[in-house]
Amino acid sequence: MRPQRLTTDELAAGLLQLPLWSKSGDTISRAITYPTFLIAIDAVTRIAHEAERLDHHPDIDIRWRTLGVSLTTHDVAGLTHLDLDLAHQVDAITTDLGGSAGH
């Protein structure tokens, strides 16, 4: 079953719980800086495992210790609960690995 696009109210409520994420068009994104390059790569691996579990795959840009993570649901050309769910997982991984808001 295809996920449904979030309503404006659902998205607003979801983003209140994800203060480090910003919305641009049909995408939410954030930058994360990790203590070392190897920890950043570990984060990518852990995010990839969560993405596979959810069958929902982010765009990830790696710049030394900083990751740019962007989420959207291409199937519906918008944002769905999958994006919010994966964003929460990315935040949990970031906390676990000592990451912080990137620049």
Q: Per residue in 32-83, pLDDT tens?
A: 999 999 999 999 999 999 999 999 999 999 999 999 999 999 989 999 999 9
Q: How many domains does the structure of the chain reveal?
A: 1
Contacts of 9 (CB under 8 A, 6+ apart): none
Give pLDDT, residue 103. 67
Containing structural domain, residue 46: 27-101
Give pLDDT, residue 102. 75
pLDDT digits (tens, 9 = 90+) for 5-31: 999 999 999 999 999 999 999 999 999
CA distance 60 to 49: 13
Is 51 contained in some domain? yes
Cβ atoms 67, 93 nearer than 8 A: no
CATH number at residue 63: 3.30.1360.20
Is 6 contained in some domain? no
In this prediction the pTM is 0.95
Is 17 contained in some domain? no
CA distances (Å), 92 to each of 47, 95, 96, 99, in order?
10, 5, 6, 10
